[in-house]
Amino acid sequence: MMLVQPLLLLAQAATMGAAVTYAGGDGTTLRKSVVIVGAHTAAEGVAAELHWISEHLPGATVESRGQITGPPHYDVLTVKLADGKRVDLHFDITAFHGK
């Protein structure tokens, strides 16, 4: 299991100074995926995903990660929310996939 909290410092450090922003939806489906804008490498993109989760779902932990390859390309993260519910979050990673 991958915990968001220990990785939060890495996420913040990787996105500090970078112009990473978010577009799209709330991540609950592929059509509503969170689009990561401004990440230039996979490391920046993953950090941005974790940052988005920490900002929008406080106390959540990432339980697993998978990919849907396209194009477009997506990361799908299964997240356990603070209340114990599990949700899948979809991030469009096309802009930095493979970099």
Instruction: List C-alpha distances in Å: 43 to 8, 64, 72.
Output: 13, 17, 18
Give the rounded distance of the alpha carbon of 11 from its chain centre: 10
The tens digit of pLDDT for each residue in 60-99 reads: 999 999 999 989 999 999 999 999 999 999 999 998 888 7
Q: Give the residue carrying structure tokens 């997240």.
A: 79
Q: How far is CA 15 from CA 21, 39, 55, in A?
A: 10, 8, 13
In a domain, 48, yes or no: yes
> How many structural domains compose the chain?
1
Place of tokens 């100074």: 17
Residue 99 lies in a domain: no
- Residue 98 domain-assigned? no
Q: What residue type is 97 in one-letter code?
A: H
Q: Is residue 21 part of a domain?
A: yes
1-31 pLDDT, tens digit per residue, is 344 444 444 444 444 445 889 999 999 999 9
Domain membership flag for residue 97: no
Could you tell me if residue 8 is inside a domain?
yes
Question: Domain residues for 38?
Answer: 4-92
pLDDT score at 25: 95
